[in-house]
Amino acid sequence: MRRARAGAVAPVLLVAERQTAGRGRLGRPWHSTAQPGPAADASLTFSIGMPLAPADWSGLSLAVGVSVAESLDPGGSELRLKWPNDLWTTQDRKLSGILIETALPQAGAALRYLVIGIGINIGPREAAGLNTAPAWLQAFRPGVQAPQVLADVAPPLVRSVLGFAEHGFGAFAECFAARDALRGREVTLSDGDSGLCEGVGPGGELRVKTAAGLRSITSSEVSVRPAEGAGR
């Protein structure tokens, strides 16, 4: 982001072999460590930066999630999308997280510089200290390693982002709905509200039917989880 604010807007792919001060959504920490032996490729963390000027940014994180899920699980049997930016397995375990940020390269610029950060668990990971139990890719893609995952995910992701800039979230809405981890389930919100999730709206906003009526949630400052005991 510092590079973009300084005016460097060339597309870039950055891959972290070891990350100890990563940052996820709502400021949550993310770290990965490279070490000798079988655990060397236990995770993959990378960022894609590129200039972009879509007519509407709404739903971008969902479109990114769709692209990553389709690349990792083309058949659709293993991965679900948990609004707004996580990939979960069908057992509600977290495989991947996505963080999206933008910066204005210069005052009055027509485009913004987009940075997409993605962390993917490749091999087994300890659950200690995590809000959601972890999943890992090798559980359903045995033997896969980080370089192959990067090759599988990054090129389609760039194409998807360019497609989003041209067509908006509508081009991804059907695929998101097919993998929606929350639709049809009772959910609780971090602001204390709760209700039945009715999927997402045309702009990627989460729709929750609460006791007070239908609520559309767009704020990235509100987190949502399945209610205790809510079925999948």
Class at the top of the CATH hierarchy for domain 186-226: mainly beta
Instruction: Supply the pLDDT for residue 35.
Output: 46
> What pLDDT digit, counting tens, does each position of 5-49 carry?
677 789 999 998 765 555 554 455 545 544 444 455 699 999 999
CB 115 within 8 A of CB 48: yes
**Structure token pair of residue 185:** 């389930």
Residue 57 has phi, psi (to 5 degrees) of: -85, -10
**Structure token pair of residue 229:** 């005991």
Token pair 């397995």 is at which residue? 89
> What pLDDT digit, counting tens, does each position of 182-231 carry?
999 999 999 999 999 999 999 999 999 999 999 999 977 799 999 987 66
Instruction: Supply the pLDDT for residue 128.
Output: 80
Strand partners, 196: 186, 209
**Cα–Cα distance measured from residue 219 to residue 100, given in angstroms and rounded to the nearest whole number:** 14
CA dihedral 127, 133, 138, 140 (to 10 degrees): 160
Those residues with Cβ within 8 angstroms of residue 78's Cβ, 6 or more apart along the chain or in another chain = 72, 89, 90, 140
For domain 2-179, give the CATH number: 3.30.930.10
**Cα–Cα distance measured from residue 29 to residue 155, given in angstroms and rounded to the nearest whole number:** 27
**Cα–Cα distance measured from residue 214 to residue 2, given in angstroms and rounded to the nearest whole number:** 40
Instruction: Compute the average pLDDT of residues 177-182.
Output: 98
Note if the pTM is more than 0.85: yes
What is the 3 state secondary structure string of the chain?
A: CHHHHCCCCCCEEEEECCEEEEECHHHCEEEECCCCCHHHHCEEEEEEEEEECCCCCCCHHHHHHHHHHHHHCCCCCCEEEECCCEEEECCCCEEEEEEEEEECCCCCCCCEEEEEEEEEECCCCCCCCCCCCECCHHHCCCCCCHHHHHHHHHHHHHHHHHHHHHHCHHHCHHHHHHHECCCCCEEEECCCCEEEEEEECCCCCEEEEECCEEEEECCCCCCEEECCCCCC
**Cα–Cα distance measured from residue 106 to residue 219, given in angstroms and rounded to the nearest whole number:** 26
Residue-range domain boundaries for the chain? 2-179, 186-226
Angle subtended at Cα 63 by Cα 62 and Cα 68, rounded to the nearest 5 degrees? 95
> What pLDDT digit, counting tens, does each position of 81-129 carry?
999 999 999 999 999 999 999 998 776 667 899 999 999 999 998 888 8
**Cα–Cα distance measured from residue 208 to residue 58, given in angstroms and rounded to the nearest whole number:** 18
